[in-house]
Structure 1
Amino acid sequence: MNKDKYFLIVPASGVGIRMGSSVPKQYLKLENGLTIIDQSLKTLLEINLISGFIVSLSRTDSFFKSSSFFNHSKLLEAVEGGKERFNSVLNALNSLNKYAQPNDWVLVHDSVRPCTKKSDIEKLIREVSNDSVGGILATRAIDTVKEKNATGPISTIDRKKLYMAQTPQMFRFGILKEAIESSIKLDNKITDESEAIEKLGHSVKIIDGSSSNIKITSKDDIDLANYFLKKL
């Protein structure tokens, strides 16, 4: 019987400058009445295997205390976020030290991906839980992808090899912590957890996700999220 524990980390210290709102985008309301972060947390915490979660917040965050998950029984801690996403994740991992063993699992999920399907998360856990490292949800690239170099010529990249990374991303606690610490030490500007894992020399499993699992970056994305949530 697998006795590994599962934990959730949600980096949520962004201020959403590109959204042009006085409220950080993770706290904007969806049509169902939930904020974006609360909808994201609601889906993840429907997974009974997850025994606890940590959120990374901006030092000036005054919104999370109004969240319906502020007093949730599975909230272990709210920690201060860092300058970059990976700093926020590491701060949460450091806090998780007192709860997790090296072989336990950590799912890292964007606070602004409210349309993740519970079935996709369950599939990620099911197909990765016997792996020694971990894996991510991702979708295949469907558009033709072009690459432009400094001198101007454009080339077409074989899209059969390309995937669009999503979250949650699920890795062993010890390996993930080592990977992010290594990237920071080497000043690698990683954009997600899987990149840190790859730079440490490990392979990452890719589990097919859904195109509805969008990351909200603009006002148009909120309209799209409301549409998808009605279909879930």
Structure 2
Amino acid sequence: MTTYAVGAEPRFFALVPCAGTGTRAGTLGPKQYQPLAGRPLVAHTLTALARVPRLAGTLVVLAPDDEQFEDDLPGLAGERLWLAKAGGASRAETVANGLNELRARGAQPQDWVLVHDAARCLLQPEWVDRLIDACQDDEIGGLLALPLADTLKSEQDGRVAATVDRAGKWAAQTPQMFRLGLLAPALAFAGEQVTDEASAVEALGHRPRLVRGDWENLKITFPPDFALAERLLASRGGPEIRATVPARDFATAQQFYQDLGFTREFAMGDLAGFRMGRAGFLLQRHEAPQAAHAQHLHLTVDDLDALWARIQQAGLAARYGVAVQPPQQRAWGRRDLDLVDPSGVRWTLSERMEVAE
């Protein structure tokens, strides 16, 4: 069993409830083991979590009689992926039992636990990082969620009873991130009927932070969801166009873009690849200053405020001596900010615009 010494710095653990039967999915067995793009569904989920360096470990909570995980995913458990056959009759009980297992492995009350649905198999590591960045200094914690875009209807006897105002309403996603010392008593107080961790924390009178998620972070629930997930997974591996960004000081430029929030995929010789979500570019060592000054790139993000907070927290302007403008609301509706990288390449970072129907 992997254990950790007590430390003052809070750590981050992922907890994946994986004890359900998934009856609504219409599958012959538990949906988490159904094939998706050639692998069990839950394998995609765990692969994404394994690519989040800040997670000290991921605990998968299985049903007590589960034999399929180790049959379908042999050898996957290891130093940072742990299994516990401690699933309960409800999600709340399964998560509570998982928290007890984390305690047994050395997790402390101040440590953060990110509970993530096994069936949200399209998870991207950068979404997890976005949640951690937004909540690690928060008193309560929070969750990924999306503001509702569709018109809502309430139903009675198969007919519309009323149109519900969608203003201020969000659809909850996972991960949901709370300190172990808060989440455990919240689940015990709320009982087994809660359907997510945030509602248990809310029952204690707290207000979790909403962190914008992504529409692709869907939960596989009904039979058609499998086909949609297959298509989305296939699209991630398709052709793409990447701009080449020149860098006078190659090492400094690489660090700048990592501080900005990009993930460095590789670095070989005079070339490095960077990605943020579905956006990516190639950084190349280049001595000619005019090549940089002539380039202007545009990046669209879901949450401009979160990116601006990251820019301020990292102190990009002072640290790299670059020009950074705060977010501005344009007359035509777009909200964006401008920055210049250490080589002189100009970027416009804009927030994705909601299209009214």
One fold, TM greater than 0.5?
Answer: yes
Q: How far apart in 2 are the matches of 1:25 and 1:172?
A: 29
Runs of 4+ off more than 3 Å: none
Q: How far apart in 2 are the matches of 1:154 and 1:46?
A: 45
Are residues 1:162 and 2:169 paired?
Answer: yes
**2:118 — aligned with what?**
111
1:12 to 14, 18, 21: 18
Superposition TM-score, scaled by structure 1 size = 0.91
Contact persistence 1:64–1:70 (CA under 8 A): no
Q: How far apart in 1 are the matches of 2:211 and 2:235?
A: 22
Listed as ranges, the matches of 1:80-159 within 5 Å are 80-98=86-104, 99-148=106-155, 154-159=161-166
The superposition leaves residues 152-194 of structure 1 with CA deviations (integer Å, 9 ceiling, x where unpaired) of: 872222212111100111111100111001112xxx6111000
Letter in 1 for 2:52: I
CA deviation after TM superposition for structure 1 residue 83, in Å: 0.5
**2:183 — aligned with what?**
176
Are residues 1:42 and 2:76 paired?
Answer: no
Q: How far apart in 2 are the matches of 1:96 and 1:155?
A: 45
2:210 to 193, 206, 209: 206
Q: Structure 1: any 5+ residue segments left out of the alignment?
A: none
CA deviation after TM superposition for structure 1 residue 115, in Å: 0.6
Are residues 1:189 and 2:201 paired?
Answer: no
The superposition leaves residues 92-150 of structure 1 with CA deviations (integer Å, 9 ceiling, x where unpaired) of: 00111132111110000000111112211111111111001100001111111122469
Q: How far apart in 2 are the matches of 1:216 and 1:138?
A: 16
Q: Provide closer, same or farther for how the CA distance between residues 69 and 48 of structure 1 changes in structure 2, counting only shifts above 3 A.
A: farther
Aligned length: 226
**2:220 — aligned with what?**
216
**2:77 — aligned with what?**
71
Letter in 1 for 2:202: E
1:25 to 8, 23, 31: 31
Q: Provide closer, same or farther for how the CA distance between residues 128 and 231 of structure 1 changes in structure 2, counting only shifts above 3 A.
A: farther
Q: How far apart in 2 are the matches of 1:226 and 1:75?
A: 25
Q: Provide closer, same or farther for how the CA distance between residues 204 and 20 of structure 1 changes in structure 2, counting only shifts above 3 A.
A: same
Q: Structure 2: any 5+ residue segments left out of the alignment?
A: 1-7, 237-357
> SS of the counterpart of 1:82?
coil
Q: How far apart in 2 are the matches of 1:79 and 1:27?
A: 16
Q: How far apart in 2 are the matches of 1:120 and 1:110?
A: 14
> SS of the counterpart of 1:97?
helix
Contact persistence 2:122–2:218 (CA under 8 A): yes
**1:55 — aligned with what?**
60
Rg bigger for which structure?
A: 2
Overall identity of the aligned pairs, in %:
36
Q: How far apart in 2 are the matches of 1:200 and 1:231?
A: 42
> SS of the counterpart of 2:153?
strand
CA deviation after TM superposition for structure 1 residue 69, in Å: 6.0
Across the aligned residues of Structure 1 and Structure 2, the Cα RMSD in angstroms comes to 1.8
Contact persistence 2:77–2:83 (CA under 8 A): no
Superposition TM-score, scaled by structure 2 size = 0.60
Letter in 1 for 2:47: K
Q: Which has the higher contact order (CA 8 A, sep 6+)?
A: 1
Q: How far apart in 1 are the matches of 2:217 and 2:82?
A: 26
> SS of the counterpart of 1:175?
helix
Q: How far apart in 2 are the matches of 1:105 and 1:9?
A: 10
> SS of the counterpart of 1:164?
strand
Moved more, 215-224 or 153-162: 153-162
Q: Which has the higher strand share?
A: 2
**1:228 — aligned with what?**
232
Q: How far apart in 2 are the matches of 1:167 and 1:69?
A: 26
